[in-house]
Structure 1
Amino acid sequence: MDIWSWICELPESDEWNLSNSQQILPLASSKNKNSETRSIELRAERVRGLNSEVSLTFSICFVGFPCLEEKESTIWVSDTCPLDVGKLFLPLVLRLLQEIVSRSPAAHDSSTLRRWQLEKPNLQPVSWILDSYSPESFSSFFKLIFLMHLFWLCAWDSSSEVGSFYFHSLLAPNIDAFTCKHAPVLRSFFIAIGADVEHCLMRTFGYILAKWLILRDVEAGIQNLTHIPSKNLGFSYAMEAHGLWVLKGYAPVKSMKCEQSFQGQNSDFPFVIQATESLLKYALAHQQLEAVIQLEYTVGFHENYVQVNARVDNLRLHVVKLGFKKDKDEVLLEEKYFPSRIRMWVGPEAGAGYVGGLSLGRSTDNLEREMENEKILKGVFENSKSLKVKAMEKKTTRAKIKNWRWDQDVEGNVAIFDASLCDTTTGVEVAMWKPIVNGGEIKVDFRNRYTGGGRGFTKSGGLVVSGSECGGSVAWRMSKEIEGSVLKWRIGGKIWVTYLANNVRTSYYETRCIEWSDEVDLPIIPSQN
């Protein structure tokens, strides 16, 4: 479905025969149970105005759907012809982006994004991407944007029949568009367009995937039509800017790898799923992990070596709800996954021979324990010849346990920052915990985890960590010969999220994880100052 190439190959104004003023691109087609063909088409049509000016109109047409009253939806009308291949169609891209942003789950209560949608945004980011990347790369970017826009037309504005057709015949065969395969183009676009628009696009991205994953579990048909990509669905990218390495990642929770899961069952009816738990799982499926890992680095130049230092500057993890309903009385809306373990790594590319040594900035913690001993000796004198003596000994041990335990480690020349969420009562690591251990239950109590003074999360259920909480920096000493070059370094993260009951009564428990990795630049260039 190479839509962008088809658009760019449309005839120019003087070559387009007015008697055949319509060009059609079939996007998908299938036959229903009655062997009737249904299809969705993209149509480009030349229209002559009142002043004999010719414009180009793009429409989505629904063929073979008797349930629809309107069979056509206009998505863009160009300025007057003649048509020039390429940049004339940038307003089409911008129009699609504006529609996606305005209808995103992140934009319905944002006045800033509404202004962006109403105003005429700058075309420069899209134009720059078109000039910087090959037609094939921009075509994959446009395909993703077009599929997201079609979701609102087919699965939101139309009937359930059209929505089902979209998921089966359009989204399922093109599900690879929703992976990190197209990261370079999206990364450049997000850096140029800003974080607000990025959040809108990625939450629409996650909302579509969440609906597809739910439907995939309910209907066997989609499983037969397509395979699940070998990599997790979602998107991540890394960049270097102003002395920072930044890794951003987005993933619907349901697309993440399931590490362990547990659900208590009624012994009389082992295969019956309670209605409350079905609703709970449906609510949990509409959640997305959004992560920002931010590392600060410095480069020091010495007489015989160059030293690179890195430390965690900021870590932000949020599990956001992908939806539009805001009912304060709905208890299930307060049930969310929460981060339970974080593993980040950074270091030179594999096989780098210029690194002489790696030093860590945090030692293994030996928790301090306070010991109290108390001895009591009691003597009793009676009229008898014997002396009665009673002895008592009391011993108390106190240990300080934090919500998060931070460690540093190495793997080759790569430095690792590892954090685990621990239960403050038992000391058990939540990501590794299992409800039943050797026939006995070890309880981990994380109810009401978003309230109170001892909570380990923000009020919204996220986690924000500053560099001072993660220990000191790590340092690499490298050969002086690399001075003046720009190196490629690896950065990555693996994040676990866990669900435990917060306010509802349920035995359902689950831990999922996802891993991202990318490359960033490390300029070894002395400052002119």
Structure 2
Amino acid sequence: MSSSSFPDVFCWIQNLPPISEWETNSISLNICSSTTSQPFLNLTISKTHESSKLSFIIVADFNNIHIHLWTSKPFKPNSKTINLLDQETIPNLFVNFIQDILHYGSNKNNPFIRIPKLDSDPNLPNIFNLTFFTLLFLVCIYESPRDLRDAFIGVLKDHLTSFQSRQASKLLMKLLGSNLQEQWMRSMNLGITNWVGELEEQYQNMFRTPCSLLSYAFSTFGMWKVQVYCPAICMDVEKSESHPRERLQFSLKYHQVESVFQFNYKADVKEEWVEIMVNVDNIRCDVTKLVNDSLVKERGAGAGEKHFPSRISLQLTPTRQDQVVSLSVGKSTDNPKKEIGSDKGIEASIEPSTHIGLKVSSGESTTVSLKPWKFEQSVYGYSANMNWFLHDSMDGKEVFSSKPSKCALINPKSWFKNRYSSAYRPFTRQGGVIFAGDEYGERVWWKVDKSAIGKTMEWEIRGWIWLTYWPNKRVTLYNETRRLEFREIVNLDVA
């Protein structure tokens, strides 16, 4: 079933006939079919028994066996006009969809949802449909029988990652605001984690990164913003040692990456060209649990056993390069200071027999100042590359590409032990990292031909995030590094 084959649910609901014209107690719309003729899903509006109210129901039809998977809150039909639904029903149903999506997450409290009036918004049908099919995606994961899930998850995922759905997703995320957006993505990614974990070998490729379901990009005047939400289970394993025990595996599995990349840009018109300057405003990367504390305590290895960011890499590239003249970066290659000292000593001893023995010893000590995070810029063609590497404070090696020794893994004084409470931690107390303009605000800039003035240029922001697990409080030899990739397009008006 292609993305274009999915029905316009909003339009169907808007045009439902009044109850007086119904021939039966319900009306149905086929909303999703599998690749075979059976099974299929229907959205049904039905009269509530012993009441004048109506409800929407998602029904799975499998060999003429009807299975109710989800039911909306009941509502009263409109009795004042010929339309079945009044003006309040659509917004209330929209909020009903959002609430039930969020309830599939680990936070079971009723979130406060205030949606602005959407009556005159031309994007309302697309946003409404996207919200409904997101709910349907989660309903299929959690409520449908196993053989039905296999039939629908793939086609729904393809629909949610289509161009039209992605455009609607960006509008919906702005509508929800950042706090609800994070809850929304945690609900989605908990569902994906449960689904992939159930049939990991067969279905992991379905959500491998880059996956447009897991990232968003926004362009506004003077700023670009990319948000990435990726379950750990969907990241590629780059290296691993040993095998985790069940409780540790549970803890590592039920986390996701939450990252925000914010850039400021400016177009400065010069006499001979236009300078497009871009600098880092904020880069934030957190590893957040997808389940509640009680479940982590019951089935996991503790809240402190989770991955940590070990490398972040970004590549900014103008998609059309015929108007680009040059690219410059603002950070030089590091030239670290090294302090070398010489210690000399003389030891003398007198042998009681016949002679005096002298022992002379000398040595050198080297002191190097090393920050845990190292930032580098580089250029490839007209692509500006930015890299942040975490280094082992003991031997200076890059963490993402190395592994700790067995002695370090069991040594309680190793730098990665109790890493979220140490005064020398290279993370926030929650286990994330923040790179802000105070230390990492170096700019990159492109010189562009003046013929670009008045036009909109596209930039591709491509990124990679590495997460590493080394034991925190747990005594284990297991360690691993995972990697995700994302790609987004942002716009820049050359004025």
TM-score, length of structure 2 as denominator length: 0.82
User: Relative to structure 1, is the Cα distance of residues 47 and 189 closer, same or farther in structure 2, using a 3 angstrom cutoff?
Assistant: same
Q: Is the 8 A contact 2:209 2:234 kept in 1?
A: no
Alignment of 1:463-474 (within 5 A): 463-470=433-440, 472-474=442-444
Structure 1 partner of 2:83: 83
User: Relative to structure 1, is the Cα distance of residues 143 and 61 closer, same or farther in structure 2, using a 3 angstrom cutoff?
Assistant: closer
Measured against aligned partners, the alpha-carbon deviations of 1:260-319 in whole angstroms (never above 9, x if no partner) come to 11116xxxxxxxxxxx71121122111111110111112222222211211111111011
Distance 2:95 2:261 in 1: 30
Give the letter aligned to residue 274 of structure 2.
V
User: Relative to structure 1, is the Cα distance of residues 173 and 416 closer, same or farther in structure 2, using a 3 angstrom cutoff?
Assistant: same
Q: Secondary structure of 1:191's match?
A: helix
**Residue number among 511, 514, 524 corresponding to 2:484 in the alignment:** 514
* TM-fit CA distance, 1:501: 0.9
Q: Is the 8 A contact 2:78 2:85 kept in 1?
A: no
Residues 1:235 and 2:229 aligned together: no
Structure 2 partner of 1:147: 137
Residues 1:8 and 2:11 aligned together: yes
Structure 2 partner of 1:260: 239
Q: Is the 8 A contact 1:125 1:192 kept in 2?
A: no
Distance 1:173 1:510 in 2: 32
Q: Secondary structure of 1:364's match?
A: coil
Residues 1:314 and 2:282 aligned together: yes
**Residue number among 153, 156, 169 corresponding to 1:174 in the alignment:** 156
* TM-fit CA distance, 1:26: 6.1
Residues 1:278 and 2:246 aligned together: yes
Alignment of 1:48-447 (within 5 A): 56-61=54-59, 73-77=71-75, 79-80=77-78, 82-83=82-83, 89-106=90-107, 108=109, 114-116=111-113, 121-124=115-118, 127-130=121-124, 139=129, 142-149=132-139, 154=143, 162=144, 164=146, 167-177=149-159, 179=161, 182-217=165-200, 228=206, 231-233=209-211, 234-263=213-242, 277-326=245-294, 331-350=301-320, 352-376=321-345, 390-434=359-403, 445-447=415-417
Identity within the alignment, % = 24
Q: Secondary structure of 1:312's match?
A: strand
Structure 1 partner of 2:418: 448
**Residue number among 469, 473, 493 corresponding to 1:503 in the alignment:** 473
Measured against aligned partners, the alpha-carbon deviations of 1:469-499 in whole angstroms (never above 9, x if no partner) come to 2252112222222222221122221111111
Distance 2:60 2:446 in 1: 60
* TM-fit CA distance, 1:241: 2.3
Give the letter aligned to residue 443 of structure 2.
S
Q: Secondary structure of 2:174's match?
A: helix
Q: Is the 8 A contact 1:306 1:480 kept in 2?
A: yes
Q: Secondary structure of 1:334's match?
A: coil
Q: Secondary structure of 2:123's match?
A: helix
Q: Secondary structure of 1:367's match?
A: coil
Q: Is the 8 A contact 1:61 1:73 kept in 2?
A: no
Q: Is the 8 A contact 2:462 2:488 kept in 1?
A: yes
Distance 1:283 1:163 in 2: 27
Give the letter aligned to residue 213 of structure 1.
V
Distance 1:71 1:381 in 2: 94
* TM-fit CA distance, 1:369: 1.0
Q: Secondary structure of 2:206's match?
A: coil
Deviates more, 1:302-311 or 1:229-238: 229-238
Q: Is the 8 A contact 1:151 1:166 kept in 2?
A: no
Measured against aligned partners, the alpha-carbon deviations of 1:325-347 in whole angstroms (never above 9, x if no partner) come to 43796643321111110001223
Measured against aligned partners, the alpha-carbon deviations of 1:197-232 in whole angstroms (never above 9, x if no partner) come to 211111100010010011113xx8x65xx9735655
* TM-fit CA distance, 1:511: 0.9
**Residue number among 402, 422, 447 corresponding to 1:477 in the alignment:** 447
Give the letter aligned to residue 135 of structure 2.
I
Q: Is the 8 A contact 1:423 1:430 kept in 2?
A: yes
User: Relative to structure 1, is the Cα distance of residues 70 and 370 closer, same or farther in structure 2, using a 3 angstrom cutoff?
Assistant: same
* TM-fit CA distance, 1:72: 7.6
Distance 1:251 1:86 in 2: 39
* TM-fit CA distance, 1:465: 1.5
Give the letter aligned to residue 146 of structure 1.
L
Structure 1 partner of 2:22: 18
User: Relative to structure 1, is the Cα distance of residues 378 and 452 closer, same or farther in structure 2, using a 3 angstrom cutoff?
Assistant: closer
Distance 1:83 1:261 in 2: 60
Q: Secondary structure of 2:291's match?
A: coil
User: Relative to structure 1, is the Cα distance of residues 356 and 60 closer, same or farther in structure 2, using a 3 angstrom cutoff?
Assistant: closer
Q: Is the 8 A contact 1:96 1:149 kept in 2?
A: no
Deviates more, 1:506-515 or 1:2-11: 2-11
User: Relative to structure 1, is the Cα distance of residues 501 and 483 closer, same or farther in structure 2, using a 3 angstrom cutoff?
Assistant: same
What runs of 5+ residues in structure 2 fail to find an aligned partner? none
Measured against aligned partners, the alpha-carbon deviations of 1:1-30 in whole angstroms (never above 9, x if no partner) come to 766436634664269743323123567899
* TM-fit CA distance, 1:138: 6.6
Q: Is the 8 A contact 2:343 2:363 kept in 1?
A: yes
Q: Secondary structure of 2:311's match?
A: strand
Measured against aligned partners, the alpha-carbon deviations of 1:44-75 in whole angstroms (never above 9, x if no partner) come to 1257998xxx764312457799xx99998444
Q: Is the 8 A contact 2:308 2:432 kept in 1?
A: yes
Give the letter aligned to residue 5 of structure 1.
D
Aligned length: 475
